[in-house]
């Protein structure tokens, strides 16, 4: 379609699925996620976990928030005509510019390139919201205009951040993060945009697959490089096997429940959507942790065995705990089912002190959680017939 008026999609539209443009948009985030992960690996391997985790959170927030902004807008107003596609492609260009600036933002607190990337994305997204406002009336039009105004004000704040003293930047960054998070809350206070619950759940699931896929890719490259350079297959196999079990279990557990059934209003959807920052960030950090564990195993990391183990066990535990908090607990019956994931998170953390086999043990614990959870659900299911 060359051009159609941009009007709201139906919240009960049947067979709503992700479009190929949305899948393409997601794929372009792999570059930014990989950049953030590599910086985290370097910081952890050099024994700088504090600055590494803080820097990783800051740059990953930018990745996640850019994806969030597009995803929820598209769920409500995707009209798939030429102007919509072109505007989305401009947003993708902004994502790639942001990815190019991740290294400087992480290493030297220089956000210039990253902010330019965001500016490109924001100009395009603001145009989308203004176009949506033109096709709406009443409370829906007011909500769209509030989104557009919020984007402009927050982006002005990010540009101003570039001129702030370096010592203030990270504190001002947190202020701007809060401002960004408040924009949807304020914009939707008088009108809920017509996002589609099943579509949103699918989009979040697809991005979860993106971050877990990046984890597998990064881990594979790390293991291959270590084998080629150090011929250390014996010490790497437990790490590779354990890491694979963790990622397999993470996928299984995330997709075990029909979470779209809970997303009935903003009251459930906004905390759920925001909470995914920790799910996505920890999922990607598992891969960075496995790379650190590999580096330590071949003698290239200047940290203790416990620190190397924690680089895997901590993000794995956070991932499982957040999936339980946002997803699983709403569908579990009885104390036994409810305790599986919290206890698994604790057990995985305990593996931190298990020496050189910690990652393997953590993977076995994660796999055991899948088995236990599946068995408990099967036992509580009503008998057929």
Q: Tokens in use for 269? A: 């959807």
pLDDT value of position 385: 44
- Report the distance separating Cα 121 and Cα 91, nearest Å: 4
Q: How many helices (H) and strands (E) does the chain have?
A: 12, 0
pLDDT value for 383: 53
User: What is the DSSP code string of 109-165?
Assistant: ---HHHHHHHHHHHHHHHHHHHHHHHT--HHHHHHHHHHHHHHHHHHHHHHHHTTS-
The CA angle 27-76-8, to the nearest 5 degrees, is 140
The DSSP element (H or E) to which 346 belongs, if any, is: helix 334-350
| SS (HEC) of 293-345 | HHHHHCCCCCCCHHHHHHHHHHHHHHHHHHHHHHCHHHCCCHHHHHHHHHHHH
- pTM for the whole thing? 0.95
DSSP letters spanning 72-100: HHHHHH---SHHHHHHHHHHHHHHHHHHH
Note down pLDDT in tens along the chain; length 385 residues. 788 889 999 999 988 999 999 999 999 888 889 889 999 999 999 999 999 999 999 999 999 999 999 999 999 999 999 999 999 999 999 999 999 999 998 888 889 999 999 999 999 999 999 999 999 999 999 999 999 999 999 999 999 999 999 888 889 999 999 999 999 999 999 899 999 999 999 999 999 999 999 888 888 888 887 777 777 778 888 998 999 999 999 999 999 999 999 999 999 999 999 999 999 999 999 999 999 999 999 888 889 999 999 999 999 999 999 999 998 999 998 999 999 999 999 999 999 999 999 999 999 999 999 999 999 998 887 654 4
pLDDT score of 367: 97
């Amino acid at each position: 379609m060359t051009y159609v008026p941009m009007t709201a999609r139906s919240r009960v539209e049947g067979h709503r699925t992700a479009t190929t443009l949305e899948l393409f948009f997601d794929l372009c985030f792999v570059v930014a996620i990989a950049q953030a992960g590599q910086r985290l690996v370097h910081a952890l391997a050099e024994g700088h976990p504090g600055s590494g985790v803080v820097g990783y959170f800051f740059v990953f927030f930018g990745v996640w928030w850019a994806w969030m902004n597009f995803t929820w807008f598209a769920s409500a107003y995707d009209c798939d005509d030429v102007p919509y596609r072109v505007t989305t492609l401009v947003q993708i260009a902004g994502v790639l510019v942001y990815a190019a600036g991740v290294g400087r933002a992480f290493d030297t607190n220089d956000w210039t390139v990253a902010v330019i990337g965001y500016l490109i994305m924001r100009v395009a997204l603001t145009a989308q919201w203004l176009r949506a406002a033109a096709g709406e009336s009443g409370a829906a039009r007011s909500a769209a205009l509030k989104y557009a105004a919020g984007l402009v004000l927050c982006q002005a704040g990010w540009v101003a951040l570039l001129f702030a003293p370096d010592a203030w930047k990270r504190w001002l960054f947190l202020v701007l993060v809060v401002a960004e998070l408040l924009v949807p809350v304020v914009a939707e206070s008088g009108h809920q945009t017509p996002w589609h619950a099943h579509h949103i759940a699918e989009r979040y699931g697809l991005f979860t697959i993106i971050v877990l896929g990046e984890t597998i890719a990064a881990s594979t490259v790390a293991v291959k490089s270590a084998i080629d350079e150090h011929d250390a297959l014996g010490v790497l196999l437990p790490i590779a096997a354990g890491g694979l079990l963790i990622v397999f279990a993470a996928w299984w557990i995330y997709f075990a429940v029909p979470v779209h059934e809970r997303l009935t209003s903003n009251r459930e959807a906004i905390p759920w959507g925001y909470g995914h920052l920790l799910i996505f960030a920890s999922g990607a950090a598992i891969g960075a942790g496995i790379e650190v564990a590999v580096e330590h195993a071949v003698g290239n990391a200047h940290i203790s065995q416990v620190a190397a183990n924690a680089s895997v066990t901590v993000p794995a535990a956070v991932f499982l705990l957040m999936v339980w908090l946002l997803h699983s607990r709403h569908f579990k019956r009885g104390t036994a089912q409810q305790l599986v994931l919290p206890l698994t998170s604790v057990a995985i953390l305990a593996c931190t002190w298990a020496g050189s086999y910690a990652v393997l043990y953590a993977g076995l614990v994660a796999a055991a959680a899948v088995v236990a959870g599946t068995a408990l659900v099967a036992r509580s299911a009503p008998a057929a017939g």
